[in-house]
């Protein structure tokens, strides 16, 4: 049975942020960011994607359309309660955030994409895996290797050693509700590839301002082939921030305070009518 670990924090400034975790992840990877946004006055809803926070079978019984449907349901709930609605996601959650902005421009006033991931091509990914991901959709169509799982390896998206130890311990102990799954099932990875392909065709429909934050040393997803794709293809204004002391999970890694600060400022600027200019910032 899947445990519901989503959480809701009511704010005071009539602005809300929907937070979306990544593939095989959990709302807990957005908790530190959620608390920071809430402290700044925002209403925050850290949702749980369909099929997540259970076991691999639970995840593989869902597809990317169901993940996105759970996003739209959460967004509809939150946007009715606030005057300014924002959406932010980590890794695959960033893709889902952008898709919502593309399809519901009347809802979304701004998007924050943290470590957006179209492909797994970071420095820690083995060469065979980089090529394997391209074949995952073919495996799915042919019905082969559907019982296989790509097991995550150190550093698990975390440069901070102490946080890495805590997260990996929970993950490897099977506490998927707290730390997510230890591996990525091939069927789920194939579904993510379908989502990525779908979003690429919609990026030019994103007109809301976008904050893009990505580690220049991302171990999972290379900044140039992932984050820059968004910067180059969305139609709205972008603010690009490259972090230099984090790995993939920037919402909980060493520069988590920077992520909070930049996000709060970005959302507040939109509320105040100061849309961010087209710019690129390298930390």
Give CA–CA dist 224/241, Å, rounded: 12
- Please give the full DSSP string across 96-127, using - where no structure is assigned: HHHHHHHH-TTT-SEEEEES--SS--STTS-H
pLDDT per position as a tens digit, 132-146: 788 899 899 999 989
pTM: 0.95
CA 252 to chain centre: 12
List pLDDT tens digits, range 107-166.
999 999 999 999 999 999 988 777 778 889 989 999 998 998 988 888 999 999 999 998
| Model confidence pLDDT, tens digit, residues 14-73 | 999 999 999 999 999 999 999 999 999 999 999 999 999 999 999 999 999 999 999 999
CA–CA separation, 161 and 25 (whole Å)? 19
Distance CA 280, CA 283 (A): 10
Could you identify the residue written with the tokens 């901070």? Answer: 160
Which residues have CB under 8 Å from 214's CB, separation 6+?
113, 114, 115, 116, 221, 223, 226, 227, 241, 242, 243, 250
Query: Which residues, 6 or more positions from 36, have their beta carbon under 8 angstroms from its beta carbon?
Result: 257, 260, 261, 263, 264
Beta strands in the chain (DSSP E): 7-9, 15-20, 43-46, 84-90, 110-114, 149-151, 183-185, 210-215, 238-243, 279-282
Look at residues 50, 5, 3 and name the one whose alpha carbon lies nearest to residue 191.
50
Instruction: Please determine, for residue 278, whether its predicted confidence score (pLDDT) is greater than 60.
Output: no
Q: What domains are defined for the chain?
A: 7-282 (3.40.50.1820)
As to burial, measured by CB atoms within 10 angstroms (0-12 exposed, 13-18 middle, 19+ buried), residue 121 is: middle
Over residues 164-207, the pLDDT tens digits come to 998 888 877 777 777 778 889 999 999 999 999 999 999 999 99
């Amino acid at each position: 049975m899947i445990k519901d670990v989503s959480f809701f924090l009511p704010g005071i400034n009539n602005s809300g942020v929907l937070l979306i975790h990544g593939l095989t992840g959990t709302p807990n990877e957005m908790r530190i960011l959620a608390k920071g946004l809430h402290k700044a006055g925002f209403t925050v809803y850290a949702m749980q994607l369909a099929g997540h926070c259970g076991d691999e079978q639970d995840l593989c019984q869902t597809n990317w359309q169901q993940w996105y449907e759970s996003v739209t349901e959460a967004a509809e709930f939150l946007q009715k309660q606030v005057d300014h609605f924002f959406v932010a996601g980590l890794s695959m959650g960033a893709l889902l955030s952008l898709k919502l902005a593309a399809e519901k421009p009347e809802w979304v006033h701004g998007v924050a994409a943290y470590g957006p991931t179209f492909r797994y091509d970071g420095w820690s990914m083995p060469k065979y895996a980089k090529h394997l991901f391209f074949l995952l959709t073919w495996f799915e169509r042919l019905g082969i290797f559907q019982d296989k799982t790509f097991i995550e390896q150190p550093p698990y998206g975390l440069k901070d050693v102490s946080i890495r130890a805590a997260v990996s311990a929970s993950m490897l102990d099977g506490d998927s509700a707290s730390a997510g799954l230890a591996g990525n099932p091939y069927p789920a990875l194939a579904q993510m590839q379908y989502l990525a392909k779908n979003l690429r065709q919609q990026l030019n429909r994103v007109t809301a301002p976008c904050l893009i934050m990505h580690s220049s040393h991302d171990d999972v997803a290379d900044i140039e082939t992932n984050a820059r794709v968004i910067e180059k293809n969305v139609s709205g204004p972008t603010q690009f921030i490259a972090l230099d002391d984090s790995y993939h999970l920037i919402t909980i890694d060493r520069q988590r305070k920077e992520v909070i600060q930049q996000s709060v400022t970005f959302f507040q600027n939109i509320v105040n009518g100061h849309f961010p200019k087209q710019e690129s910032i390298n930390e």
